Structure 1
């Protein structure tokens, strides 16, 4: 009896340790498509959901409770003969220590998405080959989600996963828009190459300092946590000096702007005049939000 109990515990532990990294909600919106069988889009959604959540993206051991909460939305704008054109919205969050709050970490809108998909086809990721643009897109953003999440827990903790995403970019050069230098400075190519460049190191420093040093300390000392968050945001001003209007700065504030307003709109007061100046300088697109800080 004891032997069987031990075996069951071992199997249960192994299952937990080998859980996949992502707990991802995948949605396929096709409201604008009126001349196709809706079943193809429903099948695509299920295939993507299974692919993202059942693929082992790293060699790290994740417990089921440690899986990263994230979402991928494919908003289909055109469909013809198994060819899809879409916008892809990718978002992720991570828990804040000693709280029930999930802090948004990533919120990216990729407008250059096109792929082919045959209903019922298997989606399989091979890191050493380009098999389809759909697989490459999902694999790229899966690694980006894991990388940014890791950077919020340890300094430059996401490097291996950024490099995996960079490798996907390298093998996907013929996959369509978004994979090459010629596709603009807000392409997938520049997203991951900028992150790995020393020039953009303040972005990664800010991610760690904001989440691990500031947010994760809020439960113990909210005033100190706010002060640490200001220091983290100031790191993006360092990046702004050498790369004004950097894509990565926008990536940070696309995820964080509402949270920053909420953080500094209640609780213990801290001086925010300098913070407002920094925010208006590095993220002027969110100026209406920064005006709400009190």
Structure 2
């Protein structure tokens, strides 16, 4: 039974999805990610997501080096059976839209219908592009818009027909538009960001989920409202869009455990309480209730210490169980 707090609305509405979100570029092998993904499934979380980056950020070694997001998800698709899998988010600079549509469709086939989701964004980390010889153009938002058109166009093309596209950045001629994903009409697309006009418009046109990542609470509330307006202007039903946020997680049974986990990821408990989901299980449930009250239906818990599977067990047993 839920206490009468800001979490009450969450308890009375649909359950909040909790997803585990990892940052493998900071230092994680495929075997480590597999362990976390299996724990994610066994403990009852909704999904395992990963970033799509090729270079570490901040003062960490990054060893053993980056893993490719969609190769990783292909492996996990065969090693898991229930959880959803996806990226938050794949930069348009990393892959051409045609091969991207093929890769995601193939992973979707490997996982089975309804398990793969594509987060797609402009990309922002210039250093990883120069480190691995990837072009980093200025007009990346234009690339995003064309890639969204092409990927969905390929997936939506009826069997036996071809797909062509002529844009400023990409051209496709008589593509067989194969393979088709197992999920029909296609895997869900996630779009995020803080742009006031183009991002909401693209989300309303192409996405089934709008995400805010690591933003202040008030910003998240404002952005949700902007996207709701864009969804309405696009003639969509309000319930056709899912609203989500990504936040770093640092949960402990008591203050000492919170401090220990914060130290392990190089952060301070007070800062994490302000900007993430941190504290005791009761504190975290209360904050999740605040997000539910502004319309969030899904939270991505950024787990930075991938060796600490006890952290996931605690969240599952004392946070997830209350949702």
Task: Give the structure-1-normalised TM-score.
Answer: 0.31
Task: Give the structure-2-normalised TM-score.
Answer: 0.29
The structure that is helix-richer by fraction is 1
Greater RCO structure (CA 8 Å; 6+ sep): 2
